[in-house]
Amino acid sequence: VIGHPKYQESKRIAIFLSMPDEIQTEEIINDIFKQGKECFIPRYKPHSNHMDMLKLSSAEDISSLTLTSWNILQPSDDDSVREEALAGGGLDLIFMPGLGFDKKGNRLGRGKGYYDTYLERCMKHPSGKPYTIALAFREQICESVPVAENDVQVDEILYEDC
């Protein structure tokens, strides 16, 4: 990931905070700050498909986040101090989680459509749609995954031996 050309050229990067069954992103987050890049993480709105990408000030900032009912750390609902990526310069790159992927770039998420809805909003931002890279285990690569018409394909899937 860290040697990937899209990562190297990106300045504003969104990345998920890993759940136990996902690729662990802690080292990538540490490198984002080490390289002087800007790091944004998801804040999901429960009972909706709305998600924002809010800026972290440092890797240590993660310890100040709130644990949700899904066991995900994220900025609290009343946190209005952090920059939302689309209120500023947009994003260059989004690292995406998922449950399954196919080699055509289709992604099976957790069913709420958070990333698809967010990418639709990105397409309306002056900086345009960021490059998307899904981070996966080899076992998550399938022949095909179910897709709906509002699903947005990922640009690339990184997994072991790819």
Largest CA distance in the chain: 43
pLDDT at position 162 is: 55
Domains, the chain: 5-158 (3.40.50.10420)
Residue tagged 């987050």 (tokens): 29
The reply to whether 138 sits in an annotated binding site is no
131 is in an annotated binding site: no
44 is in an annotated binding site: no
According to the annotation, is 114 in a ligand binding site?
yes
56 in a labelled binding site: no
Q: Which residue has the higher pLDDT, 121 or 48?
A: 121
Please report which confidence band the pLDDT of residue 75 belongs to, taking 50, 70 and 90 as the band edges: very high
111 annotated to a ligand binding site:
yes
- Tens digit of each residue's pLDDT (9 = 90 or more) over 13-28: 999 999 888 999 999 9
Q: Is 129 annotated as a binding residue?
A: no
How many CB atoms within 10 Å of residue 13?
Answer: 27
Question: In this structure, what is the dihedral angle of CA atoms 131, 124, 107, 113, given to the nearest 10 degrees?
Answer: 140
Confidence tier at 71 by pLDDT (50, 70, 90): confident
Q: How confident is the model at residue 159 (pLDDT cuts 50, 70, 90)?
A: very high
Which element (helix H / strand E) includes 40? strand 38-44
* Digit-coded pLDDT (tens) for 127-146: 999 999 999 999 999 999 99
113 is in an annotated binding site: yes
Please tell me whether 38 is known to bind a ligand: no
Kindly list the distances between the CA atom of residue 117 and the CA atoms of 49, 121, 129, in Å, as whole numbers in the listed order: 7, 7, 12
Contact 121, 83 (CB under 8 A): no
The residues, ordered by sequence, that sit 6+ positions from 141 with a Cβ below 8 Å of its Cβ are 100, 101, 102, 103, 157, 159
Q: What is the pLDDT of residues 78-118, one digit of tens each?
A: 888 999 999 999 999 999 999 999 989 999 988 788 999 99
pLDDT given at position 6 = 98
CA 97 to CA 15: how far, in whole Å? 9
Residue range 33-70, pLDDT digits in tens: 999 999 999 999 888 889 999 999 999 999 999 888 87
CB neighbours of residue 120 within 10 Å: 13
